Chain A
Amino acid sequence: MTFLGKTLAASAALALIAGAALAEPAMVYDLGGKFDKSFNEAAFNGAERWKAETGGTYREIELQSEAQREQALRRFAEAGLNPIVMAGFAFGAVLGEVAADYPDTKFVIIDTKVEAPNVRAIEYSEHQGSYLVGMMAAMASRTGTVGFIGGMDIPLIRKFACGYAQGVKAVNPDATVIQNMTGTTPAAWADPVKGGELARAQIAQGADVIYAAAGSTGVGVLQTAADEGILSIGVDSNQNYLHPGQVLTSMIKRVDIAVYNAFTAGADLETGYFVLGLADDGVGYALDEHNAALVTAEMQAAVDAAKAGIIAGEIVVHDYMSDNTCPVN
């Protein structure tokens, strides 16, 4: 090896080490906002946990408009940040293009499948978690009518609704599940007034437990449910504390763990496609001091049995996104 060769190799190695040492992870939040008390906030909590435990730093951005998606990813990739974690299915289309342009950067996308050699795509079995809270809703309901309020009308939210309906019917085949979507634009994630009004309409139709999967619109649903003296079910993050004693449970989706693991693995992240379900504790139902009085021992036993059944494969919860239909309504 010539001197020049050695120098080049050494400097290249040095650059690599320097690059690796400098690479900070990055977090991109979706339009719902970092503090939506739900999906994005779960991602934020994972990032903060990593920061607290390792003392590391990370960069983050909250998107304000659709147009910023691609720009944010490219800016972070060009700044040498690695890995770049994004929370939200809506990044799917953009990431497909961006990932190919930055082969040395690892991307993590939550909630949709993107196939590229440098992408780790994580999806959750929300239908399984929703099935469990659906069972609890049916057991807690006195009227035999329960409600579901979704945010934007997209297949992912229908997956929540479908799992929930299946859980309800598993306990009480005669139960009625009233389903409403807030809207068809991203504004549907942030309209608590409309969420509250939808909840009132469902209550008028007899619903006495309402499950909200609607970003910060859900805050309005939970508020109205508490005002009207019925039970509600939170989503993504544990929302039981919002109205202690009036939120039956929350369908938690451990987005925080996905973010934490990605940050911990750093640039050595394993890429590919992963689905986290009940078996991996990727989804579940929340039980804490705020809802302990609402969840009876009988309820908990039934739900835990169903959870074991789903993990063992004895109970199959239909995934709406597999064929865009739902066997129950």
Chain B
Amino acid sequence: MMDFATILQVLDSTVRLAAPLLLACLAGLFSERAGIFDIGLEGKMLMAAFFSAATAAVTGSVWLGLAAGIAASMVLAGVHGLASITFRGNQLISGVAINFLAAGLTVVIAQDWFAQGGRTPSLLGGARFEAITLPLADTVRPVPILGPIYHDLISGHTIPVYFAFSMVPLTWWLLYRTRFGLRLRAVGESPEALDTAGVSVVATRYAAVAICGVLCGIAGAYLATALQAGFTKDMTAGRGYIALAALIFAKWRSWHALWATLLFGLLQAIALRYQNLQIGGVPLPVQLMDALPYILTVVILAGFVGRAIPPRAGGEPYVKER
């Protein structure tokens, strides 16, 4: 049923679908490792998708678009930080508010600016990220097995995809091999220890939330300027929530986040390619494939496959003296 070329195509699709999930998942990882729960990933991505597409459409430059997307996402991250760090509000409610704000605001602004019913004009040429061909891709193509893998699967993606995958080792290095990473993890487990050591809890948490904003911004810009050519209403379509599920599935670890998002991406890619999958004569409905990421997350949360323990101080605003 599946030949080598088909497997490559499905994996290629997996990479494209996993990249925004991976970026959002790592964004959530930074934030939640620092003790700030963030269910506003979806809203930040959506806002970034809109502002990147709008700026790219007006200026014709995808890089300015990317910058605007990141800036918009960071503004929302700042709001979340202000609500949950400075004013010690409920982090879940602040996240929900951000999602609603982004869903409504993007359409209203888009309608006001472009009058195309809450979408941006289609992006052309330099206003989009083009697929890049890695060096030697065409030369090594005739090599059996490895050639097609390099040419079709590894080469031919857009810059944000390569950035997303390179963020995985970078995140690991930052969290486990730098002083900043140690402090960031400490502030999520035991902020009072960090405070005792004389490090600012507030500054560390804001830094984490800001990194989260940058990564969500890139994820949103990727959706609107690389995968698609322009913004449409609600175009993130729940990817921020799947990224949250992936984060739990990955038990808040960077390499696990890569595998979790690739798995979720693969499930989506298979569901898109084979709408009525037959396994051993039993038809698997496409709805099951769509629901599988969530089912797997529930299984993990229920403790069947090891325990998923969130950062201990997660969701708790830090108060200096009790």
Interface residue? B227 (CB, 8 A): yes
Complex contacts, B17 vs chain A, CB 8 Å? 197
Given contacts A197-B13, A242-B122, whether A192 and B235 have CB atoms under 8 Å apart is yes
Interface residue? A250 (CB, 8 A): no
Among A191-246, those with CB < 8 Å from B are 191-194, 196-198, 200-201, 204, 216, 219-220, 223, 227, 242
- Contact (Cβ within 8 A) A197 B272: yes
- Contact (Cβ within 8 A) B237 A35: no
Interface size class of A (residues with CB under 8 A): 20 to 34
Among B243-289, those with CB < 8 Å from A are 268-269, 272-273, 275, 286-287
Complex contacts, B192 vs chain A, CB 8 Å? none
Q: Which of B22-30, B91-99, B112-120, B176-184 contacts A (4 or more CB under 8 A)?
A: B112-120
- Contact (Cβ within 8 A) B227 A193: yes
Among B62-113, those with CB < 8 Å from A are 111
Given contacts A180-B275, A187-B238, whether A34 and B117 have CB atoms under 8 Å apart is yes
Name the contact of A194 in the complex, choosing from B119, B122, B272 (C-beta under 8 A): B272
Interface residue? B9 (CB, 8 A): yes
Taking CB as reference atom, which chain A residue is nearest B273?
A201
Interface residue? B229 (CB, 8 A): yes
Interface residue? B34 (CB, 8 A): no
Taking CB as reference atom, which chain B residue is nearest A180?
B275
Interface residue? B61 (CB, 8 A): no
Given contacts A35-B118, A190-B233, A197-B272, whether A183 and B290 have CB atoms under 8 Å apart is yes
Interface residue? A24 (CB, 8 A): no
Interface residue? A11 (CB, 8 A): no
Q: Shortest CB–CB separation between residue A48 and chain B, in angstroms?
A: 13
Complex contacts, A204 vs chain B, CB 8 Å? 6, 9
- Contact (Cβ within 8 A) A223 B229: yes
Given contacts A35-B118, A200-B13, whether A187 and B228 have CB atoms under 8 Å apart is no
Complex contacts, A41 vs chain B, CB 8 Å? 117
Interface residue? B234 (CB, 8 A): yes
Instruction: Give the CA-CA distance A33 to B287 in the complex, in Å.
Output: 25
Give a binary string over A34-50; 1 marks a CB under 8 Å from any B CB, 0 the rest.
11110001000000000
Interface residue? A181 (CB, 8 A): yes
Interface residue? A57 (CB, 8 A): no
Interface centre among B16, B228, B287, by most chain A C-beta atoms within 10 angstroms, is B228
- Contact (Cβ within 8 A) B237 A187: yes
Taking CB as reference atom, which chain B residue is nearest A34?
B117
- Contact (Cβ within 8 A) A193 B273: no
Complex contacts, A187 vs chain B, CB 8 Å? 234, 237-238
Interface residue? A184 (CB, 8 A): yes
Name the contact of A191 in the complex, choosing from B235, B286, B287 (C-beta under 8 A): B235
Interface size on B, residues (CB 8 A): 30
Taking CB as reference atom, which chain B residue is nearest A190?
B234
Instruction: Give the CA-CA distance A220 to B235 in the complex, in Å.
Output: 10
Among A265-315, those with CB < 8 Å from B are none
Instruction: Give the CA-CA distance A194 to B6 in the complex, in Å.
Output: 19
Q: Shortest CB–CB separation between residue A210 and chain B, in angstroms?
A: 14
Name the contact of B223 in the complex, choosing from A36, A193, A198 (C-beta under 8 A): A193
Taking CB as reference atom, which chain B residue is nearest A222?
B122
Instruction: Give the CA-CA distance A36 to B117 in the complex, in Å.
Output: 7
Given contacts A180-B275, A196-B228, whether A35 and B119 have CB atoms under 8 Å apart is yes
Given contacts A33-B117, A180-B275, A220-B228, whether A193 and B9 have CB atoms under 8 Å apart is no
Interface residue? B155 (CB, 8 A): no
Taking CB as reference atom, which chain B residue is nearest A217?
B232
- Contact (Cβ within 8 A) B228 A201: no
Q: Shortest CB–CB separation between residue B112 and chain A, in angstroms?
A: 13
Instruction: Give the CA-CA distance A179 to B97 in the complex, in Å.
Output: 38
Q: Shortest CB–CB separation between residue A17 and chain B, in angstroms?
A: 38
Among A167-192, those with CB < 8 Å from B are 179-181, 183-184, 187, 190-192
- Contact (Cβ within 8 A) A193 B116: no
Give a binary string over B1-44; 1 marks a CB under 8 Å from any A CB, 0 the rest.
00000100100010011000000000000000000000000000
Among B180-225, those with CB < 8 Å from A are 223
- Contact (Cβ within 8 A) A33 B118: yes
Given contacts A184-B287, A198-B272, A201-B272, whether A193 and B117 have CB atoms under 8 Å apart is no
Interface centre among A193, A196, A219, A242, by most chain B C-beta atoms within 10 angstroms, is A193
Complex contacts, B286 vs chain A, CB 8 Å? 181, 184
Q: Shortest CB–CB separation between residue A98 and chain B, in angstroms?
A: 27
Name the contact of A35 in the complex, choosing from B116, B268, B275 (C-beta under 8 A): B116
Instruction: Give the CA-CA distance A219 to B235 in the complex, in Å.
Output: 11
Q: Shortest CB–CB separation between residue B176 and chain A, in angstroms?
A: 33
Instruction: Give the CA-CA distance A237 to B41 in the complex, in Å.
Output: 34
Instruction: Give the CA-CA distance A198 to B229 in the complex, in Å.
Output: 16
Complex contacts, B275 vs chain A, CB 8 Å? 179-181
Taking CB as reference atom, which chain B residue is nearest A178?
B275
Instruction: Give the CA-CA distance A194 to B238 in the complex, in Å.
Output: 12
Instruction: Give the CA-CA distance A180 to B223 in the complex, in Å.
Output: 22
Residues of A within 8 A of B (CB): 33-37, 41, 179-181, 183-184, 187, 190-194, 196-198, 200-201, 204, 216, 219-220, 223, 227, 242
Other CB < 8 Å A-B pairs besides A191-B237, A193-B227, A194-B272, 5 of them?
A: A35-B117, A181-B286, A184-B290, A190-B233, A192-B228
Could you show 9 A-B contacts with beta carbons less than 8 Å apart? A35-B117, A36-B117, A184-B290, A193-B228, A196-B227, A198-B272, A201-B272, A201-B273, A242-B122
